[in-house]
């Protein structure tokens, strides 16, 4: 609300403020201001079992009266700068060490600040609103929302309700945080098949870390009483650490399974390395990086597959155009790289040399772009470190990683061109390989859930080359194709050695010069091809289903937090 202020004095003493709007004028406190404000304290518990929150400081009468007798923490939420300029209450109470001033212009930011403050107090007492009547009229959306949230918070001893025994049942109770990421659907289906009790909270779009989401989590914890919370790639975990801090206060473990590069994700976050956070990573090479960030509990957990979705079947007659001797499913990275080049405000030397940097990074064993620059390109590393903001540095690392993947993936795909491959992906492949026709066939990107399970059985050889964001790990296709009972030819990654037996369950090329000979051999040797595909499926069923991944998570969480 737009308004101006006019101070009212009595014998040179400020006694009231006139709030002048377009069509009316109101008094901040009126003739009996001291009595009116002190009446705001009625209903406040005598014992310091709550955290009083003044919603508007007014003339300061109530605040002064409380601070004379109240030794515990007190907060004031007041964004009315024009009034504060006249009352000078911030300066007057500046020496009060138990007083917190919050001047956030957004009610969600104010609630977040109050939540962080509450978390810092022993036993996290409930927040108790002390609303000033004039302020709700000034901005009903802002102060009204705060009153609503704080009154709901103060009506029950929330923290007492969260102190229940964990991991007492044979099967843990799980709270899933979802944003539509593909793995959550697999987790739900697997939990249903396993009889796992779970609750699901879906993140609203663009609302990660917002107060409503955190409140939904807390309310579900009280009603559902989970043994732990599970998320993918830290989705739902706010960058400021409100959620992890609350879970730590309640001693409720958080399990976060990273299935993408955690370096590119955690770049955004403050220190969230709570002892109540368990990190699982699909790439064992990430473990040292995560430990350096301060995470105490880090475990390797490779990807898996849903064998009820990816299962043996014949190539449907309606998909005749999908039949191929060899196929490859993957993004060309052309458009992703182009978008980063256009969006990023990168220093000249880094921009002009990004392709050479990507080529060197792709050929090196180093896992992170910054580490590669420090070791192999010190001059460019200094240029990179001079980029002032985290977002731009992160964008440049993504650019180099994607360009390295483009270069590597293209060189692999060119090796299968003599066999007229069917390539499934984006139209950037035309920029790289020319117009499809006699040399190669093209199909638009396919839906992971509805099309790929039917596509893999249509290829004699399913070809795979891995993104360079995972130099040692394996991707989803390494599990999905064998689950369909189909033959896979993939690039060698160190961690595949722990997942399949080479040459018996999986065929790998260590050098691109091997690709054509391997393709020729397995196109013409059906018995060998079928034997390997059968063994690979047996291995997947025995060790690499999502049910087995969930069981591993349960075992690790119970062993770490069950006591």
From the list 552, 545, 470, 558, the residue with the least C-alpha distance to 186 is 545
- Checking if the pLDDT of 361 tops 50, the result is yes
pLDDT at 222: 84
State residue 476's pLDDT score. Answer: 95
| Strands 13-20 vs 4-10: parallel, antiparallel or unpaired | antiparallel
Residue 403 has pLDDT above 60, yes or no: yes
279 membership: H or E segment, kind and range: strand 277-281
What is the rounded CA–CA span in Å between residue 547 and residue 545? 5
* C-alpha distances out from residue 487 to 52, 323, 477, 480, Å: 66, 14, 11, 11
Distance CA 62, CA 207 (A): 36
What confidence score (pLDDT) does residue 207 get?
44
Euclidean distance between CA atoms 458 and 320, whole angstroms = 8
Whether the predicted pLDDT of 384 surpasses 80: yes
DSSP state of 157: -
Give the separation between CA 543 and CA 71, rounded to whole angstroms: 59
- Of 134 and 178, the one with more pLDDT: 134
Which pair of structure tokens corresponds to residue 138?
């000034």
Q: Assign 271 a pLDDT band (cuts: 50, 70, 90).
A: low
Rounded to the nearest 5 degrees, what angle is found at the Cα of 306, between the Cα atoms of 188 and 447? Answer: 90
Which of 45-54, 179-188, 265-274, 520-529 has the weakest average pLDDT? Answer: 265-274
Alpha carbons 19 and 136: distance in angstroms, whole number: 13
* Tokens 């779009």 sit on residue: 205
Kindly state the DSSP code that residue 72 receives in the 8-state scheme. Answer: S
Backbone angles phi, psi at 127, to 5 degrees: -80, 135
Q: Residue 114 in contact with residue 127, Cβ under 8 Å?
A: yes
- In which band, very low, low, confident or very high, does the pLDDT at 78 lie, cut at 50, 70 and 90? very high
Token digits for 31? 């003739």
Question: What pLDDT, on a 0 to 100 scale, did the predictor assign at position 293?
Answer: 84
Q: Is the pLDDT of residue 481 over 90?
A: yes
> Does residue 240 surpass a pLDDT of 80?
no
pLDDT of residue 236: 82
* Angstrom distance (rounded) from CA 410 to CA 55: 61
Share of the chain above pLDDT 70, in %: 95
Q: Which residues pair with 85 in a beta bridge?
A: none
Strands (E) located in 433-543: 441-444, 459-464, 488-491, 507-509
Q: What is the pLDDT at residue 66?
A: 94
48-52, 138-142, 321-325, 408-412, range with the lowest pLDDT: 48-52
Tell which wins on pLDDT, 97 or 213. 97
207 and 182 Cβ atoms separated by less than 8 Å: no
Q: Give me the domains of the chain, ranges plus CATH numbers.
A: 4-155 (3.40.50), 174-304 (3.40.50.11930), 317-547 (3.40.50.2000)
Confidence of residue 537 (pLDDT cuts 50, 70, 90): very high
CA gap 226, 197 in Å, rounded: 9
Q: How far apart are CA 49 and CA 121, in angstroms?
A: 11
pLDDT value at residue 285: 93
Q: Whole-number mean pLDDT of the chain?
A: 91
Tell me what the mean pLDDT of segment 380-400 comes to: 93
Tell me what the mean pLDDT of segment 271-287 comes to.
90
pTM of the model: 0.79
pLDDT average, residue stretch 96-104? 94
How far apart, in whole angstroms, are the C-alpha atoms of residue 465 and residue 259? 17
Q: Answer yes or no: is pLDDT of 425 > 70.
A: yes
**What percent of the chain has a predicted confidence (pLDDT) above 90?**
72
Rounded to whole angstroms, the Cα distance separating 342 from 57 reads 48
**For residue 374, what are the CA distances in angstroms to 344, 361, 380, 386?**
21, 11, 8, 13
C-alpha span between 313 and 368 (Å, rounded): 40
Average of pLDDT values for 289-315?
94
Per-residue model confidence (pLDDT) at position 205: 62
How many residues would you count in the chain?
Answer: 563
pLDDT given at position 268: 65
8 Å CB contact between 285 and 371: no
Whether residue 166 has pLDDT greater than 70:
yes
Position 387 pLDDT exceeds 80: yes
Query: Per-residue pLDDT averaged across 229-243, rounded?
Result: 85
The pLDDT value recorded for residue 99 is 96
């Amino acid at each position: 609300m737009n308004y101006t202020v006019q101070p009212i004095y009595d014998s040179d003493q400020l006694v009231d403020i006139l709030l002048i709007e377009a069509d009316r004028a109101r008094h901040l406190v009126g003739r009996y201001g001291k009595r009116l404000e002190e009446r705001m304290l009625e209903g406040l518990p005598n014992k310091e079992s709550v955290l009083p929150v003044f919603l508007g400081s007014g003339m300061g009468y109530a605040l002064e009266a409380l601070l004379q007798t109240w030794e515990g923490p007190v907060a004031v939420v007041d964004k009315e700068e024009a009034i504060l300029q006249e009352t000078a209450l911030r300066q007057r109470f500046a020496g009060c060490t138990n007083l917190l001033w919050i001047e956030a212009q957004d009610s969600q930011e104010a609630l977040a600040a109050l939540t962080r403050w509450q978390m810092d107090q022993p036993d996290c007492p409930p927040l108790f609103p002390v609303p000033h009547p004039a302020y709700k009229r000034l901005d009903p959306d802002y102060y009204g929302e705060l009153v609503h949230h704080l009154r709901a918070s103060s009506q029950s001893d929330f923290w007492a309700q969260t102190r229940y025994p964990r991991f007492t049942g044979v099967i843990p109770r799980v709270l899933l945080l979802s944003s539509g990421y593909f793995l959550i659907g697999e987790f739900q289906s697997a939990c249903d098949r396993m009889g796992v009790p779970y609750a699901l909270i879906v993140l609203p779009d663009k609302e990660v870390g917002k107060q409503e989401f955190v409140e939904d989590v807390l309310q579900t914890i009280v009603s559902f009483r989970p043994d732990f919370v599970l998320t993918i790639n830290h989705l739902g975990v706010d960058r400021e650490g409100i959620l992890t801090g609350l879970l730590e206060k309640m001693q409720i473990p958080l399990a976060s399974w990273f299935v993408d590069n955690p370096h590119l994700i955690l770049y955004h976050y403050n220190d969230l390395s709570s002892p109540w956070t368990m990190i699982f990573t699909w790439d064992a090479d990430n473990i040292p990086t995560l430990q350096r960030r301060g995470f105490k509990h880090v475990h390797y957990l490779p990807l898996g597959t849903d064998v009820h979705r990816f299962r043996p079947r014949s190539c449907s007659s309606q998909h005749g155009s999908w039949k191929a001797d060899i196929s490859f499913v993957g993004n060309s990275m052309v458009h992703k790289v182009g978008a980063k080049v256009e969006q990023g405000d990168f220093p000249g030397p880094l921009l002009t040399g990004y392709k050479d940097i990507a080529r060197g990074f792709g050929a090196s064993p180093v896992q992170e772009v910054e580490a590669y620059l420090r070791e192999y390109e010190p001059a460019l590393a200094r240029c990179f470190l001079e980029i002032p903001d985290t977002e731009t540095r992160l964008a440049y690392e993504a650019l180099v990683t994607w360009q390295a993947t483009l270069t590597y993936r293209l060189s692999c795909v060119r090796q299968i061109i003599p066999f007229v491959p069917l390539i499934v992906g984006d139209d950037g492949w035309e920029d790289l390989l020319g117009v499809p026709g006699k040399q190669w066939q093209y199909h638009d990107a396919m839906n992971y859930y509805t099309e790929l399970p039917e596509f893999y059985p249509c290829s004699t050889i399913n070809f795979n080359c891995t993104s360079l964001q995972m130099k040692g790990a394996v991707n989803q296709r390494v599990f999905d194709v064998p689950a369909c009972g189909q033959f896979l030819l993939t690039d060698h990654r160190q961690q595949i050695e722990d997942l399949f037996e080479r040459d018996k369950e999986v065929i790998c090329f260590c050098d691109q010069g091997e690709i054509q000979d391997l393709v020729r051999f397995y196109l013409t040797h059906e018995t060998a091809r079928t034997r390997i595909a059968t063994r690979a499926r047996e291995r997947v069923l025995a060790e690499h289903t999502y049910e087995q991944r969930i069981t591993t998570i349960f075992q690790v969480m119970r062993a770490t937090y069950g006591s």
